[in-house]
Amino acid sequence: MWAVVGLGNPGRRYTGTRHNTGFAFIKRIAREWNVKLRKKRFFSKAVEIEREKEKVLLAIPQTYMNNSGLTVKQILEVRGVKPEHLIVVYDDLDIPLGEIRVRKKGGPGTHKGMSSIIQEIQTTGFPRIRVGIGPLAPGADAVNYVLSSFSKSEEPLLEEGLRKAREALEMILSGEVEEAMNIYNQKGKTLPN
């Protein structure tokens, strides 16, 4: 079984903000897979489906970003998901808008949601897809920036990043995390058509 968790903050105030890119991704996947995220499972809105004979749980934590680990810990404990079958999708200021990065494991960087997850589950050994929301303008306040909405001119680049994240997700679910890293961790590279 796989669990795919997108990070963000619940509530209308945060809808459409850069920091909710993980939520936007999971909601998009749920629409594409024709399923609805339900409330009150694992401190999250979640849905479990079967795809190609494999169960996949999609979740968006309702704990606020800094406590995302509470949701992830519940999912791993209750559903018996192994950390290597957990995929976390979240925003990253250090990656340009329209780009993504894939990692098999690693530290949280400066992301509070990732810090919470690693603290709660006591491992860094899980795949993640970092969706670019940067760059931060010199001298700009990072908190205000991540809580701001995308402009109309940025929306096509956001779409490009979410499309790449969707392709990377399919590759990871197929056991091709290394291939996804090779493709998406080089600036400007995409899957061949």
Cα dist from 34 to 30, 48, 50, whole Å: 6, 12, 12
Among candidate residues 156, 74, 61, 168, the one with its CA nearest the CA of residue 121:
74
Cα dist from 187 to 67, 97, 101, 151, whole Å: 31, 11, 9, 23
The catalytic position among 5, 6, 19, 58 is 19
Among candidate residues 137, 63, 62, the one with its CA nearest the CA of residue 96:
137
The end-to-end CA distance of the chain, in Å, is 29
The burial class, CB within 10 Å (0-12 / 13-18 / 19+), for 144 is exposed
Task: Identify whether 19 is a catalytic site residue.
Answer: yes
Cα dist from 155 to 15, 41, 133, whole Å: 14, 31, 11
- 41 and 3 in contact (C-beta within 8 Å)? no
Longest dimension (CA), the chain: 50
Query: Annotated catalytic sites, by residue?
Result: 19
